[in-house]
A and B are shown apart, each in its own frame.
Chain A
Amino acid sequence: MQPWTQAVASDGAPAAGTLGARGLRVEAPSGRVLLDVDVLDIAHGEFVVLAGASGAGKSTLLFTLAGLQVPRTGSVRWGDTDITTLSEAARARWRGERVGLVFQDFLLFDELSALDNVALSGAWSVRGALSSLRARAWQRLDWLGLDPDDPRPVSSLSGGERQRVAVARALAASPDIVLADEPTASLDRQAADRLVETLARLVDERRRTVVVVSHDPSLIAAADRIVRLVDGRLCAAAP
């Protein structure tokens, strides 16, 4: 287990492969502070759960780390790259290459098959990358115990299967970081446990950095570190 400031380089910037935030401040249009984080570093291959009460700023932090939310002040760095200074197009490219996202209610295209959902980014990727992307999508589904050749639309799958499709989609581009927002909230216990196991395997077997917003005790128990937020501020980091 690592202390939450361990991955900081001597110059104060996050070490290579570390996702780090400095002086983050996110405000609502009304001016209310949604997030106020001085320092947060998440090391390469670390499994972190963001915990806290509803409205504490967990999802806001997750979206800011993903470059989806631009902070009023502060920075989010991935190695040498300050993603908060990147253009919208460059942030989208960075997410496409480095970040896998999993949402609470899966956000799949129900009418498409599992393979088509996982290979979704083929629709906007360069033409030459399509076949390799579909091959990776096939492998991810297979790794997660789903039938990649199942032609049925994902609407016919169970909740647990659909969430695994969503995880496979997040992993399709072989990202360094997987960010998940309440991934077990829509699942029954058995499916949730299976997902927790999958996320743990991602860290252990594939050395991915996993950051999860969750209240789920199973996920919290499986994490390397728990980062708790209260009113947008980090209050403690627990092993």
Chain B
Amino acid sequence: MSEFLSSAWRSLPAGTQDLLVLGGWLLPSLLALALGLMRYRTGDLVHALLRRHLGVTLIFVMLIALASGLGLAIDVQERGIRAGTAGAADRFDLLITAPGNDTSALLAAVYLQPAQLPLLSGRTLQRIADDPAVAMAAPLALGDSIGRAPMVGTTTGFVRHLIGIGPGVSVLDEGRLFKDAGEAVVGATVALSVGQRVSPSHGIGSAVTATHDHVQIELVGRLPRTGTPWDNAVIVPVETVWLAHGLGDGHAGDAGGAIGPPFDPVRMPGVPAVVVRADSLGAYYALRERYTDARTMAFFPAEVLTRLYRVLGDVRRLMTLLSSVTQVLVVIAIGVALSILLRGLSRRFAMLRALGAPRRFVFALVWCHATILLLSGALLGIGVGVLAAFVLAERIAATSGVHVPVSLSVVDLSVPAMLAGLSVMLSALPAAWLARRPIVVDLRG
């Protein structure tokens, strides 16, 4: 029998399973409400009881809301962070760097986190660019900043790829793409104006060591929002970065100030990373294998993220465990608080029984009252959880530029539903206890 049930359960679609679990947790509440509001007419009395100790009732509801909202916020946030960070890496199909730590390279290239990365030589970059399997090889030059925004050197080809437009098409929020080494575009959220002239600094944030005062850059365009850390960056031609450091512009002498590929492999300074696009899945895997050797390291950002998500998942499990322990403690606290609250109302319940109310009615009234308290808290908890997730998402976006999408799923609702379900089941105990107490003892107070 259990084999059959287990097999039937596994055969159900995941969404149906989630709905059934949610329904299962809601069942005790529905039962209590049906008993209280349909079998009997306890609505007015429940309303009166809720109003009787309004302050305590509100504190009680808020505690439940916080307890259930915490667990929900963790789940929603963790999923949002996964989606946001994965989305931010979408345009970085294959990264090639010098051998080292792929996580550091990923954080530096995609999420623009400060890191000391070894450089790929000009000849290596040329070899990658000339590879027939490569459709685009965009160098990334990192490590400088303008104001509080990191400055990234790259090509117009990669900028177009980043914002999803084709060659010759301009859908910038403002202005145009850079055309020479004295121009730059800003990300959507950078607090600099198009038309402004700026000088870069060496280093980022508190690690700034010097300013490149000899370099003047005019901001000529603003990129549309990408939901990535690049929204917070100033993007310049890669040549600008080389020139700022006195390394030439990477082109042959007769290039006449041109920017972008082809570069001169002899004159070209190194870059920490190259973003590579290929035309087929097979080509990506071939490129990864080809450029994973003693001089280069090629990796898919998605693979590194998957590894990070496993760690994140472990952290989430730990936080969920802590949150679950908290919730169990809250359920116990709710049980105790509810018993105290109901004990304060016991004279009213005894009066009802003295007037002829059957025990079942008093049980239904108390259970319904407790259920409405608990459900209100759980519903409010959903709001609290979503609000907390939104606030956290905004903070993450503000500090890292990663857009963290916040969305609710049926599984998320199971957390407050579980808390409410367990508490409602538990609250049947004080309800039964109150319905069986000696009337005279409670009437005498």
Contacts and interface: CB of A to CB of B under 8 A. Distances in A.
B354 A101 contact: yes
A224 interface: no
A116 interface: yes
A227 interface: no
A125 to B, nearest CB: 9
Contact of A101 (B41, B42, B355): B355
A89 to B, nearest CB: 6
A123 B48 contact: no
Given A107-B347, A109-B348, A95 B48 contact: no
A111 B51 contact: yes
B354 A120 contact: no
Interface in A77-114: 88-89, 92-97, 99, 101, 103, 107, 109-112
Interface stretch (A63-71, A186-194, A231-239): A63-71
Interface string A156-182: 000000000000010001000000000
A122 interface: yes
Given A120-B355, A169-B355, A63 B443 contact: yes
A111 B357 contact: no
B295 interface: no
Of listed B45, B52, B351, B355, residue having the most chain A CB within 10 A = B355
A181 B181 CA distance: 97
Query: Chain A's interface: helix, strand, loop or mixed, by majority?
Result: helix
Given A95-B354, A95-B355, A123 B440 contact: no
Interface residues of A, number: 31
B283 interface: no
A68 B356 CA distance: 10
Given A107-B347, A110-B52, A92 B44 contact: no
Contacts of A107: 347-348, 351
A101 B358 CA distance: 16
Contacts of A169: 355
B145 to A, nearest CB: 63
A139 interface: no
A123 B361 contact: yes
B215 interface: no
A92 B443 contact: no
B443 A121 contact: no
A89 B359 contact: yes
A112 B48 contact: yes
Contacts of A59: 444
B245 interface: no
B134 interface: no
A124 B352 CA distance: 10
Interface in B324-364: 347-348, 351-359, 361
A68 B439 contact: yes
Contacts of A89: 358-359
Given A107-B347, A109-B48, A112-B48, A123 B40 contact: yes
Contacts of B439: 63, 68
B52 A124 contact: no
Given A112-B48, A124-B40, A103 B355 contact: no
Of listed A68, A94, A99, residue having the most chain B CB within 10 A = A68
B351 A92 contact: no
A198 B40 CA distance: 33
B47 A111 contact: yes
A96 B440 contact: no
A106 B52 CA distance: 16
A123 B356 contact: no
Contacts of B443: 63, 68, 103
5 contacts: A68-B354, A89-B358, A92-B358, A96-B356, A123-B42
Task: Pick the 8 closest A-B CB pairs, nearest first.
Answer: A96-B356, A111-B48, A124-B361, A107-B351, A95-B356, A109-B48, A111-B51, A123-B41
Given A97-B356, A110-B48, A124-B41, 16 more contacts: A60-B440, A68-B354, A68-B439, A69-B440, A88-B359, A93-B358, A94-B356, A96-B355, A99-B356, A101-B355, A109-B48, A111-B48, A111-B52, A120-B352, A123-B40, A169-B355
